[in-house]
Structure formats: structure tokens, C-alpha cells
Structure 1
Amino acid sequence: MVTNGEGYIQLIQYLTEHLSVFEHPGQACMNDTIGEYTTDKVAESVMAVCQQHPQLSTEARFKVIRESDSVVNDLQEVLSSVWNSAPTKEQSEFLDEFIGLIKNLFDSAIYAIDPIQ
């Protein structure tokens, strides 16, 4: 649906091009770790996708959930060195933007296979 597509590959490249955001420790802006923050934000995005597309079958919803797990795993792999650190404001803003782009990929993929009538 998403994780095997060109758009997702480009987003992962975008992430790797901006790893400098995660290279320098700074003032943490929350108590959550980057891993917890990322997992929560991806979960919120998945819930929003499912709410915005009520016509999705149960099978399609499960596919979205499985793929979102893959997204979190990929992010954990790329951000492994900082996964257990608290994010700075800049890092949390970058993650918000990045996860928003991932959500857009899901929305586009869902619309492509099941356009709203």
C-alpha cells in the first residue's frame, strides 16, 4: 500500500538527508523518548486515517495498521542511536512534519484504491 512505494522510499531518503537534526543533543522539550513520541504520533495518524475513511473494509484497516508498524520499525532503525533519547523542539517538529507526510501517503493510497463516492 505505502511502504513498498516510491513515495515512501523518497520520504526515507528525506529522513536520512536530515539526520543532522538528530546528531546534536539539545534541550529536551518533553519527557517522552523519540521512540515513544514517534510511536504515539504514528498511532494518532493511523487513527485519523481510519476515521477519515470510514468506508475502509476491516481488511484494509488491518493493512494500514500493519504498514504503520513497518513505518515505526523503519524509523526505529534509522533513528536507533537516539531512539531512547528525549526529543528537542526541532526534532519533535521534524517528526511531526515527517509523520504528517507519511499520513498523506496513506490518504493518497487509500483514495487511489477506494475513492470516496
Structure 2
Amino acid sequence: MFLFPEHQGRYEQFLKQDGTHPKDRERQALFYIFAGYKDLGDRIEHFYDFEGRMIRPEAFQAVDLTSGSRALAELAFNLYNNYECGTIVNLFVNLDERNRRLAVEAIRLRFGVENRGWEY
């Protein structure tokens, strides 16, 4: 599920700092993305208020983002509370292979889809 060892450590740190409930898939998906993309994880305080336990959409105007980091942040917000983020195609076109995997895993986490393989 995690893309690299630091990803899991940072994810668990964010969950603990927030006090996220084990069934709160919305925040888990949000933190999964931020923990898996260093540039976003390093600036999470701009995007998430841990004290108030809410996202900060105004960060999109205050923080310089690449097209890829913006796409991931928008997806994280959308998985958290249906924040307007454009289409899946518009999001994924800006992502490299690793970050597409990060996005797909976050979607699986949010909706409880296990990666067991599909039977048809």
C-alpha cells in the first residue's frame, strides 16, 4: 500500500497529530496523499489545520505548486469532502507513474477497495 518506507511513517505521524479515528477514511485518504508526496507533506500546515481539523482551500492561492502537486492536493481535498477538482482525466494527465499509483491507492483507501484482483 505504501510507496516507500518514509511514506508510511509520515502517514502515521499525520494520523496521530490529527487524532484521526480508525474509520475516518476521508482523512486517511487525504493524509495518504500528503504523506506520499514530499513537497505537499512538507507544507501540509498550509493545506490542513490540525487544530481545527479542517482543510484550507485558500492554500491554492498562497502556495506555489507544480501541476502534479496541485492535481494531488485537489484529489486529496476531493476525497476528503468532495472539493471541486475537475475531471479524473485532468488530474491524472499531470501525474507521473508513481503519483498515478499514489492517487489510485488513495482512492482505494477512501472507498475501502482491497487490491485482491478482480474476478469477472
Same fold (TM over 0.5): no
After TM superposition, the score normalised by the length of structure 1 is 0.29
Q: Which gives a bigger RCO, structure 1 or 2 (Cα 8 Å, sep 6+)?
A: 1
How does the TM-score come out when normalised to structure 2? 0.28
